[in-house]
Amino acid sequence: MEDDEDEGAIPRMRDACAALGFDLGAASESLVERMRLLAERSSTFEDARRMASYAERVFRHYDGKGSSEAFTALERQTVVLACLFSDIGKTGPEHAGADARRYVADVFAVENVRDDTQPLTAFLRTHFPGDAETRIACFRDLGVDPAMPIRQFWNLHSGWTLAIAEAAGLPPEAVAAAATHHLLEDVNPRTIVGDDQRFTQPFGENAAFDRAEKLVIVLDKYDAATRRGRLSHDRAVAWLRDRLAKSPRFHDDATFVELLAVVDRVLGEASC
């Protein structure tokens, strides 16, 4: 991404947050700097903006079904802020310094990794041979075991998102939605979602993992399939239905099924 585009990324995000009634200026400066880092070093920022635009299309669909089914103002804020910030953890843990944040962001910027069982050390030596040992030492200092499989490392970002979003002052409802965006893969940081789908700690007015959080997951998976996986709309939806069917926890979840059907209809029309 070009420098002028990077500089424009944050004002666009400020505007998007303001439209939802959230002042990004009230959040910690660390949050803004982390988002700037993602905009500079990867496609994550543009992925987030695209997901937010998908969410707006879904909202309009429900608006047309009547006030009883429309997403509330709080749900809309929760979904869009979660879309924007769910991957903030791809800059590393909350206590990470500038170099560590950059090294973590660099790992997540590498796409189409075929072997997700390879150790983090092997991954770093393959993709960053010039300073791999420095990066390995930095991750070890962060408390990350460099011998862990790269898939396990990727899964850490949900927990890092939870801690960063809490410390940054995001609305608590959006914090929960951002942190649970990989729950379909059973990534449940701090076990914040209980077996009964209720949150195990307070998140503002949001007591349970429900429609808003599930929409964030569907949009995240759909965007990953179409952008990074380069699947057509129809193939992406079929892949998502298969993932849902294979989930022991959510295979018969009516809300997930409905939201996926709506995404198929709304985004399918846009792709024609």
- Write out pLDDT tens, residues 179-212: 999 999 999 999 999 999 999 999 999 999 999 9
> Would you state the pLDDT for residue 4?
42
- Write out pLDDT tens, residues 24-37: 888 888 899 999 99
Would you list the domain boundaries of the chain?
Answer: 3-212
Indicate yes or no: pTM above 0.85: yes
Query: Which residues of the chain carry a pLDDT beneath 70?
Result: 1-7, 270-272
Tokens of 131: 């300073």
> Would you state the pLDDT for residue 125?
97
Burial code (b: 16+ CB inside 10 Å, e: under 16) for 102-134 equals bbbbbbbeeeeeeeeeebbbbbbeeebeeebee
- Angle between helix 211-223 and helix 233-245 axes, rounded to 10 deg: 130
Taking the CA of residue 185 as centre, how many other CA atoms within 13 Å lie in the half-sphere pointing to its CB? 16
> Would you state the pLDDT for residue 28?
85
> Would you state the pLDDT for residue 272?
54
Count Cβ atoms below 10 Å from residue 149 Cβ, excluding itself: 16
